[in-house]
Every structure is written in structure tokens, then in C-alpha cells.
Chains A and B, each alone.
Chain A
Amino acid sequence: MDLMAFALMALFAAGASVFAGADIGAAIRTAAFKSNEQRRIALAGFGTLCLSHEVWIVVTAALVNVFFARIEEDLFTRAYPWVVLLLLGWLARNVGLWLRGRVDDAIWRWLCDRALIGGARVFAASWGAVLAYASGGPWWAVAANAVALPLLLSRHGNAYLRLRLASGPRPIKPRPFLIGALLALGAAGAGLAVIATTGVLAALALIVSDDMTRQNRDLPALAYTALAVLSSLLPAVAGVAWQSSASAALAPVGVVAVCMLPLIVAAQALTWWLFRHRVSEPAYL
């Protein structure tokens, strides 16, 4: 039961970081598009898949809540302000995304852009902070991770937008050493091996991704930024004693989760397949 709970939670956390993380990064990177038309195309690029990506975070939160209630309780009490900020940032990003196209007015768009981009930055920073809290880091590890995640996710989002759009944003400076070092600092709560792996893996992945980007190989470039994003999860995965509070009573949730998994993956795959074409026109957003 413990192993299944952990595996499910880790799987959804990984999906959340890679998929929803790409949407957060892409939202930050919409700042790179200057005209309204270009920005609307960028929103169409990631907004179409945003709903189906976001659910990974929701399910991760639900699984942590049910299987690791003690850990969540402890984490939420210690990281309370950051969890509040995370929610507010998430909320602002979504409001900006969903409402921007509803009113044809420059001031309205400016407001929605601030909510979208600012909200995504706050979301990414507090995501990093909560991860550092989870791995038990001191305040400077929290701060380092809060700086690292927006940088990391905006690289991931940039690679994602380059894959999604017919004319994507320009490559972004990879800054592998800065981000690797910040992530290593952020991992301070975990063991030395984890700290080193996190920093080195993230830095290497960013370097390779940048190389792929320069060769216009957009999918591998995205896969490598995804690897860097996954490495930022390592400290929380390895640094927490994932003692499940799960008893046999929770078996129904495990069974439902395992049964739903193929359906969930199929629904995601269908969504990606339907919207696989590169976007060159604005959509509803």
C-alpha cells in the first residue's frame, strides 16, 4: 500500500511538474510577445491544453491529501504563507488567461496580462518554496528555490512554446550554472548525494536542451527542459520520509486511481493528438 501510494503520488507529481509546469513557464514567457495578435497566438498555443494539464496538479494535491495527510498537515502549517501565495498566483494566472480575450480593450488586456504573467511568476516562486519546505531546507534554501523555479520553468515554457507555435519565441539564455546552483542550494534539506544530483542533472539538461534548441529540434529540447524540471522534484521526493498514513481503508482510492490511469492517459493523449498542430491563429482566449 505504501509503495503504491508513493508511486501514484510521484507519477502525478511528475506529470504536474512537466505539463502544468510548461503552462506556468509559457505564461511567464508570453511577456516576450509584444503585439496583441502575437500574444493571443501564444495563449492559443498553450491555453488549449491548459485545462487538461492543470488537472495533474489537482490530482497530486488530492493524493497527497489522502495518502500523506500527516506530511501535508505539517507542510501546510510550516509553509502556510507560501501555500496561500501559490493559490493566489495560480488563481491570478488562470483569471488572466481566461478573461483576457473577453473584452476588447487595451486596459483590460493590460490588467489580464499582469495577472497572467505576474500570477505565473508568483505561482512558480511559491511552488519552488513549497518544494524546499517539503525537503526540510532552511530559509535560504527556500529563497534559493523560490528564485530557481521561475527561471527554470520559464526555460521549460519557452521550449514548450517553441514546439507549440508556428513562430515561437527566440531561444532564451539557458543559465545552467545559475539555475543548477540555486536548485542545489534549494535542496539543502536533503542529503549531499541528492543535492549534487539535483544541481548537476538540471544544469546538464539545460545545456543539452539549449543545444537542441539551436538545432531547431524542438521536441528533444522540450524533453530536456522537462528533465531539468523533474530534477527539481528530487529533493522533495528523496528528502521526505514518505511514510504514508494510508491504511487498508484507503485501498478504494488506490484501486480507483489505478483503474482510472489508462483512461486519464488516453484522454490526455487524445487532447494532444487533436491539438498537435503548430498554432498560427488566435483561438477563443
Chain B
Amino acid sequence: VTDALLLARLQFGFTAGGHYLFVVLTLGLAAILSIMQTRALFGSAQRRAERMTMVRFWGQLYVINYGMGIVTGLVMELQFGLTWPGLSHAASEVFGIPLAIESLVAFFLESTLLGLWIFGWNRIPPLAHAALMWGITLTAYASVVFILIANGFLQSPAGVRVDGEQIRMADLGAFATNPSGLLAVPHIVFGSLLAGGAVMAGLSAARLRSRRRRGPEETAMFERSLKWGFTTFCIAIVPVAAFGATQWGILQPAKFAAWQGDAAALASINADAVARFGPGDYLPPQGWVQSAALLMLGCWGIMAVSAAVALTAAIRRGWQVLNGSRRLQTLLAYMVPLPFIAVLSGWVFREAGRQPWVIHEMLSTESAVSQAGYGGRLFSFAAFTLVFALLVLANWWLILRHVRRSPAEVSLGAEVMAWT
């Protein structure tokens, strides 16, 4: 691995990982908010107002996080061209298709609808406003599908053929239904719900646990939020693992062997690759693959046990136990970082495990990396890594700050009363 390649990989890894920390929470909260805002359309005036307060409170947290997700996403869009021009060079007419359609269909609408949602509280009737949130959620999850089709192509190309230096489309249907992309979709969806649920439940629990003074309405809102968040968390915890497991069957052989630590299999895979592609090392970094997978599974185990403990208590002694027990609240509060660690290690496992290929057995990272000068590369690595780190820190500082405040101080949709 040359220095320039290492820098490029680190830059892409850090920025993609940083971006995903925002994305996963955006996706999870969007789905919860859609249902919550729909619920807020029904019931007595008082119930509607209570639920709407909750939507606005978590909605503002969602918007803070979304804003940072967009700015990091803008960087990601140009990262491929900046860092891996060889990828566009060899495969733009294949790889570019899902990415372009994602921008055109999903992102364009999502962003426009989000603008209407944020600024339209006092201008758009409640039913249409709730429908906007559903539109945002649907387009956000549509993005997931297109991005994973693109990623699935890199993992295990399907429906394409190699024509000299070019990779060309052979069968659009096979390309679009590539299982290594689509099988990851439900895993990502439930992972996002898990993160959204953990954040909502954990931060509410932390607020309820805190001895700081708060009004009865505030307490009631956090109790309701805890219930919403914890329910989502419990719904997602088993499917996320089940849909993760469905992908084991289609892992690249080298990734699977690296995870198992099967030296004999690794040696034979490498020998086979040397025979096909010439001398070189065709194996992924085993330590990274194994520790990332273990970290992901470990986080899931802790979350599953905690969910089971809290759920058992809630079933045996009623939901009220979550509002009263400081120990359960502490447990839930500690869940907040776990889904984020798990999804990042999941991505490291997925991406590090297919090295040295950017397109599996078609294009190596080494031949795809940008030829821009080392100084420029170093500057861009340092700048983007620093900026993304600052954004992640600022985002969480603002989120925690937001949660410590009272729902009465929410600025999102502050004129909402015009409609209720």
C-alpha cells in the first residue's frame, strides 16, 4: 500500500463514516417522526397538542442532524470523482447510473420536501405537512436502495461485462437486483431504526433520570418519547441481526476466510488470484475484518440483552417502570452510542473486507486512486478529516444541548399554534 493510496483510503473511510453517522440517525428519526406526526393528527385537541410538541422537539433534533448530514453528503458526492477517478474512468456508465438516479429521484425531492417541512409549519395545513414528512422518509429510504445498488456493484459486480479497460452494462435487471446490494437494504433500514430508537429512548431516559427540575408537561413528554423510542428499539433489534445474517451467504470468499481466520483458505484464494491477475497480495487486512465484525456483533449483543432486560421489566411491571426506575434509565441512556459504533464497524467490515479491490476482481484501489499531487492529497485529507470530526462533535454537542432544554424552547414550527 503506497502512501498516496493509504491517504485516499483513510480520507474516504473517515468521510464516508462521518457522513454515515448523520445518515443513520436521519433515517431512523424520519421514520419515527412520520408515524408520530400522523398520530398527532388524531385525538382530542389536548392530545394533538401534546403529540405535536413531541414532534417538534424531536423534529428539531432531526433537522440539526440532517443539516450536517447534507453538508457531509455534498462532499461525498464529489469524493468519488476527487479520490477515485479510476472508478469513473472504468465504470462510470455502470456505477454512475444508480448514483445519478439517486440524485435525480430521491435526493432532489427529499431536499425540496424537507425545506417545505422545516419552513412550512404555519403555512401548510397539518395533513399535508404530515404527508411531507412521509415523502421525506420515502425518498430517504429510496436513496438507501440506490446507494446500495451502487455499493453492491462494487462488492460483487452483477449484470456487467468487461470490455477492454471499460466495464459495461450487460443486464440492467441483474445489475439492479444484485443481492449483495439489495440484501443489505433491510439490514440498513433496521439498523437506522435501532439508532433512531436508541437516541430517542436513551436521551429521554437521561432526561427523566436527571434530578434537574422540570415541569410536569416536560416529564410527560419525555415519558412518551421514551416509550416511542424504546418500542422502536425493541422492534428493530432482532430483524437487524436477522437481515445481517442473510448476507453471510453471499460474502466474498476472501472476506469470509479473513473473518474465520482460515489461513489455508486465504492462501488458496490468494494463489488463485495471483494466477488470474498477476503477482500481488489479494487479501483483505485480516485484523480489521475480524475486529470490526466482532465489535459490531458485540455491540448488538449488549443492546439485545439490555432490550430484553428492560422489556421484561416493562412487561412484568408495566410501562411505568421505565419512567420510575433510575437503573433502567441509566441502562437505556448508555445505549445511545452503541448503534453508531455497530454501524460504523459494520461498514468497516464490509468495505475493508473487499480490499484490495474497489470493484471486486475488476479494479483495484491502487489503480483507481487519484494521481493528484501528494501535497494536494495531504491537504485534502487533513482538511476533510478535521472538518468532519468538528462537524460530528458540533452535531452531538448541539443535540445534547437541545435535549437538556425544555420543549417549550423549540424554535422549529414555533408558530404551529396557528393551526391547532
Residues on A facing B (Cβ under 8 Å) = 47-52, 54-55, 58-59, 61-63, 65-66, 69-70, 72-73, 76-77, 80-81, 83-84, 87-88, 90-91, 94-95, 98-99, 101-103, 245-247, 249-250, 252-253, 256-257, 260, 263-264, 267-268, 270-271, 274-275, 283-284
Contact = CB atoms under 8 A, between A and B. Distances in A.
B101 A256 contact: yes
Contact of A268 (B92, B102, B112): B112
Nearest to A72: B81
22 contacts: A55-B103, A58-B103, A58-B108, A58-B111, A62-B102, A65-B80, A65-B92, A65-B96, A66-B92, A69-B89, A69-B96, A77-B370, A84-B384, A88-B384, A88-B387, A91-B71, A91-B75, A98-B71, A247-B93, A256-B101, A264-B104, A267-B112
Contact of A253 (B67, B68, B97, B119): B97
B281 interface: no
Contact of B78 (A87, A260, A264): A87
Contact of A62 (B71, B104, B376): B104
B93 A245 contact: yes
A101 B60 CA distance: 12
A73 B85 contact: yes
Contact of A61 (B78, B85, B120, B391): B78
A271 B64 CA distance: 21
A88 B383 CA distance: 8
Question: A-B pairs with the 6 shortest C-beta distances?
Answer: A69-B92, A66-B96, A98-B67, A51-B115, A62-B103, A249-B169
Given A73-B88, A99-B398, 10 more contacts: A51-B115, A52-B111, A62-B103, A65-B92, A72-B81, A99-B67, A267-B112, A267-B113, A284-B411, A284-B413
Contacts of A275: 119, 123
Given A83-B82, A84-B383, A274-B123, A52 B68 contact: no
Interface centre among A83, A88, A102 (most CB of B within 10 A): A102
A177 B373 CA distance: 37
Contact of A90 (B71, B89, B120, B370): B71
Contacts of A264: 104, 108-109
A99 B119 contact: no
A161 to B, nearest CB: 17
A249 B104 CA distance: 17
Contact of B112 (A47, A102, A271): A271
A242 to B, nearest CB: 15
Interface string B47-88: 000000000000000011001101110110110111001001
Contacts of B119: 47-48, 275, 283-284
B26 to A, nearest CB: 13
Contacts of B370: 76-77, 80
A101 B116 contact: no
Contact of B93 (A58, A99, A246): A246
A179 B22 CA distance: 40
B85 to A, nearest CB: 4
A270 B70 CA distance: 22
B250 interface: no
B196 to A, nearest CB: 20
A252 B82 CA distance: 25
Interface centre among B89, B97, B103 (most CB of A within 10 A): B103
A252 B97 contact: yes
B105 A249 contact: no
A275 B105 CA distance: 23
A42 to B, nearest CB: 15
A88 B88 CA distance: 22
Interface in B242-266: none
B380 interface: yes
B40 interface: no
Nearest to A76: B81
B401 A103 contact: yes
A179 to B, nearest CB: 27
A162 B128 CA distance: 30
B112 A55 contact: yes
B319 interface: no
B417 to A, nearest CB: 15
Given A63-B100, A264-B108, A73 B89 contact: yes
A284 B118 contact: yes
Interface in B113-162: 113-116, 118-120, 123-124
Contacts of B169: 249
A107 to B, nearest CB: 14
Nearest to B135: A267
Contacts of B1: none
Contact of B67 (A48, A70, A94, A257): A94
A52 B398 contact: no
Interface centre among B80, B116, B402 (most CB of A within 10 A): B116
Contact of B116 (A61, A99, A274): A274
Nearest to B373: A80
Given A58-B77, A99-B394, A65 B93 contact: no
B68 to A, nearest CB: 7
Contact of A87 (B64, B74, B102, B414): B74
A73 B81 CA distance: 6
A176 B273 CA distance: 63
Contacts of A88: 383-384, 387
B108 A253 contact: no
A246 B169 CA distance: 12
